[in-house]
Structure 1
């Protein structure tokens, strides 16, 4: 992980202290040990820490209570630990030996802070608090380290309290078929949970190639993962995100090539799936990527908003969450820092739920149990709410990151790691049921199917707009596949929606979904578009009236404006607006009601500027039912307004 500015200054401070100790009175009388100690100084100053450590180890072989040698060894191995997992165990040993030999020695105050961090990272909160308190007693001057020591104490107290109230957490391995590699991590799923893409390595060292793999569900079981050959190369690719329909994929590339040039340390690339094949990925450009490290993307359900991690200047901490939005022209806007969520420490692995308002992420900046914890924040009333820790034991003293939550908010996927020091021994994909209190406030459902030409049954590419009827605003826009006509779009619970399917040369198709007062359900529905020819007609499913009345309800405006748009785009077209009722009431009353309702729609259109000569209003009462009036549900379908090309 990247070092924060505080950590960098602290390492420099430790080096300075190490060099100062070479010139101080020493806790040994052995001339030979002192000679090894002094000889190590030259190599330490040159940065040859390995040779310096060799000499210091000889010094403590002669006198194991040579505290200064242990201290400098601890610092040397700490600096070496980034590239050597074994060095981490060694620097911990030498730091702890210092405290054993010379407890509460003022010049060893930095060691108390170092060991307190190690205890905190292991979940030994009692020892971490004790050592932080000793460090603070030996360090009267305020510094960034005293601030961090107080932060550790507060985190320990938070963790001890949280452990007394554990949340329900029963993780289980997803499938041995999925977990067939040494390391697999950062899983993402399509909204219908029928496809999973993840990153994997066949080995657990940095030399192992990092690739993306896909598995699909067949008979409710995951299939053997397949290498995504269209996207993977001999270099590393991974840490990806997909849109809800699985048609847009954004992933990380850190090693540029002639075909895939990168701006900085790591860049984000995007690819689109057409007819089951991933297209050549493209660099997302300078509005998204920088000269720095850009990675860990998370894409909104409709593929129009991207959250990701960057270390670029202009943020609050080391790693920050950034966001970019794609315009109607398809161009991604300049990335902006998510300042309301970020801290002056590090945030990683953002995940935006398909509802578009719940953000999960990892952070070491908020109160936590140690390392990186998982947090959740909701976007409400125009602002991000204070993040909430997901709780123990979902979070513990180890690092937690890479969470994915399903559309219904009930199931989470993540990578479970087994580590030794800085070495990851294994990483497997696990799942668990999300505790009720940590689920997204707004759960989601999906509608999916295939778009066809109603006459020829040819599969069509079409634009699909989802409108929230409460405020007549677009919540999502997707396209059906250009080759196979498939589509998937997400609907959030708690709202009433109009879904419009549009293609030039065809009548738009209007669907209605009311999830405002009850839980919705996933829907599979094929859509047939009628060509704009005489006799073609559609049902206007989002025109609303009160019972036995003909006044248009306010929420009908979305549909009425859609008709207006169609009429303006097709100025030569003439249409019939017809009203239909069920069989409740007398024939005469139903005929009269149907006429008045059709006329209400025509009146709206003429007032909006459509020439009356292009509009015909007719009422058919109960004479043309779509289906038998044998149930309330059937009667509701027969009460309708139709739109027909003359």
Structure 2
């Protein structure tokens, strides 16, 4: 029995020695950035001791530092229970938030407050709480945009950061990898391209980047190509070789005659120990946007802008400021031609991890940041937007749950229904008024259509049937002018408002609505008197009454439509006063009418006032009031036509 216990003790000692060896190995892996290897190593320890705090700490930190914080929840939860601290509760809250467990996340952030008095940490913690509240009110930036996984393009590994240049789609992918990246346990990535026409990609013709050779044993990541296609900038790093650069950096290759140069380290990196990645050119190529963790930022990874120098390099990098950058991480910039700035962030209010945002002017000179909404973003990483037709179509990257593999490439399109088209076809018929009161077709009449902006929209001569046809817009106001030699020109207003069906009720894509209107022209005959109806004056007065003004406005319109005519405006009385009195009264009334017309903008030299008193009675020896009224009239006649 003693011998039996001795063997048990020996086995326990070996087990403890093995645990210690595993822990040392795991710590070495963690400290060297081989996070996935560290996770695998410490997971073996947790299988024997689930409460091992060091194992929980390293695994939780490894997931967090390799951008998989959503997987770190059980490890930070164990740490928070056994060793409560600000960081343990804060990182637990971030993990819960990344999984959209918002109520639990807020509870963890609230508990974190109790374990620090540091104002900066408290502000950082409060920002997380506030971002959860703000995320509840996010509206879709493009309500009609739809996102689709480009399944034919994607692989079980990583595929991301697409960029279109000169009919080729360039992107990063883990296909054809020759090794695994120790930090994540996923294949190293390389740069590829395929022919593309907008969103249509020749997925059967994908090839490794031909401009220069992909390197083995490291990640070639996000790529940017200048607008002229002559400069390629990409992120390169994560090598495990001690002879290589210690951190991810930007490399550049230039087109020189026969081909592209071998990529070289860019001075804009400034320090080889700083992380620099996700480059993008401005629309004109004069500026380079990129992400960096260099000192002096607002926390985590910030976005910077560098200016193209005289020698072709980029330098003088400046931080984009606290409106865009947060204590979290901002990456994958994209400046649009209209000045809107798109980027990804896990620091602004969002749905989980990296979301896509836009920084734009609020119209008052202030820049505001907006989340693109849940039809674009998910609870996972959403990043690397590129427009093929701004802002209606393009690509982006995401590692959301419904993907083909790790990071996937998605395409988006504006699916706003095409508006139903209504064409208004107006038939204008031209006619003339006959002396007997009838109307007759008046062909070869010039008809011109003007819009509400007084610009000509069309014009033609009426055909033998007196018809001219115009195509007009719905809910619009127009003026139609008809003219013909020997006739008074006439203008009439015409509106299509209320004369067409509601497009929402239509089934067909195009609906034609036919409308009709008629313009009747009067003959223009020199010295022919034309009676103005309803021109009345108060007894013994010459003032223009409101009802008379309505009729005189019609004459104003005739004069405006016919700027080459000069008229005589005459006033006539009945015979119930003396000749001298009636002559004076009629002259005053005629002059009063002329003065009114001049006040409406008609030149005075186009008008002659003439009072005829009772000298031109229509009804001699009038007896009834109706007969007297016939004699009391106002007339006009054209006395001159200026060529």
- Superposition TM-score, scaled by structure 2 size: 0.49
Is the radius of gyration larger for structure 1 or structure 2? 2
